[in-house]
Amino acid sequence: MPAITFTARNIQDITKGSSQCAILPMYQQKKLSDEAQLLDDAAGGTIKAAMALGDFSGKAGESCFLPGAGGAKRLLLVGCGVRSAFDRGAAREFVRTLAKALNATQAKDAVLHAQKFEVKDASQGWLFNTIAREITRASYRYTETVSKPKQAMKLARLVVNTGDNAKAKAGQQALDSGAAMGRGINEARRLADLPGNICTPTYLAQQARKLAREHAKVSTTVLEEKKMKELGMGSLLSVTAGTDQPAKLIVMNYKGGKTGDKPYVLVGKGITFDSGGISLKPGAKMDEMKYDMGGAASVFGTLNAVVEMGLPINVVGIVAAAENMPSGGATKPGDVVTSMSGKTIEVLNTDAEGRLVLCDALTFAARFKPKVVIDIATLTGACVVALGSHATGLYANQDKLARQLLDAGDESHDRAWRMPLWDDYQKQLDTNFADVANIGGPGGGSVTAACFLARFTEDYHWAHLDIAGSAWDSAPKGATGRPVGLLTQYLMERAH
């Protein structure tokens, strides 16, 4: 997918200068703004005519294409609703409407006249970041296994008119960060949407090596099963025992900060296909288990965004990649395995495999002496029951880290909700035959999964994001790229 270029400029006379589309945000009011009046005069009154006919009123969600004016070949009016109510929610609705209209036009370049365009509860930087991010997201097309993919968005360049030179400089920074975030989200979607016969652990390792080849500040190391065995990763290896696909522990090290700075470590669950193993899943919707590497995809997407922005921090991305399949050699319910930490685990359900790969990856993460560790996983159906698809489940062993992640989710509208991580739930993981069981019974399944992981993260500040409900949609089917927005926003805030 070709990248859209976003440029902030100060254009004094909006009736001059050539473009294929001039975009005018319009509030729901009787009198035209000064900018709208100038374009209406240049267009011979077509804006007022469209409003008089009832074709456009400025309501939120409305858009209307008109013949060109001045140097623009076409005009695009986009409704903003009532000016006094134009808050972040209304701004997001505006951007969605704009993206939909741009997807429908043949215009290859456009100018958005935003010089007096303000959100009452957010900065212009937030608005420009949101515009670039969401229009980039809207340009995503899945192309890799279809002979006739959906038509790509024609737009290649969007100029945002700030009406002020100083605002143009700050606006450009916001546009650049928003576009980088959008491209990171789309990379996560691309990886997650790939079928399991293409996106294998080996494929993910290849993508990690490619990232390192393309960027001098990134180095990639891939641990093979032999090395994992030497390190004592019996828990992770128990998941891959039933498949012909070799597991990979992928480590991507981005050194954008000072040499001595502690890194932020992101750990992604990378189950490239999850049959459930011996505890076989029902056949219905099993195809969606290609999305069980959504956590890994978000690590790749976030690192892509961080690298593109050149954030002055150190970030380590760890992906525990494996396939969970049934066979004569597969782990059985009741088997006991030994994790890298030395703790023994009774595998009561082989379909609770994500925590088995993550616990060894989280133990491995400690060797980087991390500032914080955040794991991301499509971990439990119980989280979907609890929160649906709107919120990611957030667990943390430190209140400050939890608050920072929640705030980053609110800022990027990639929201999370904090769930309890109380010791009261730990007893559900007790077993007579090992140090811990890998499931805790029917009640509080997302909580007990997080409690299981907490036993392997006691030596550092840690958060767990359960994205089982937020990583993909079933109708229409497709990856969302979450929580790349949340993670990227969090790391951007740590870099300043």
Our answer to whether residue 367 is catalytic in this structure is no
- Distance separating alpha carbons of residues 164 and 157, to the nearest angstrom: 20
Residue 417 CB burial class (10 angstroms; 0-12, 13-18, ≥19): middle
List the Cα angle 95/99/104 in 5-degree steps.
150
- Distance separating alpha carbons of residues 112 and 160, to the nearest angstrom: 5
Catalytic residue among 88, 262, 281, 455: 281
Which helix H or strand E contains 125, and what residues bound it? helix 124-138
Alpha helices in 310-387 (DSSP H): 354-365, 381-387
| Cα radius of gyration rounded to whole Å, the chain | 25
- Distance separating alpha carbons of residues 352 and 345, to the nearest angstrom: 12
Phi first, then psi: give them for residue 484, nearest 5 degrees.
-60, -40
Our answer to whether residue 281 is catalytic in this structure is yes
Residue the block writes with tokens 């359900």: 349
Question: Are 67 and 74 within 8 A, CB to CB?
Answer: yes
DSSP string, 259-325: TTSPPEEEEEEEEEEE--TTSPPPSTTGGGGGGGGHHHHHHHHHHHHHHHHT-SSEEEEEEEEEEE-
Catalytic residue among 190, 290, 355, 415: 355
The DSSP code for 121 is T
- Distance separating alpha carbons of residues 154 and 107, to the nearest angstrom: 6
Q: Cite the active site residues.
A: 281, 355
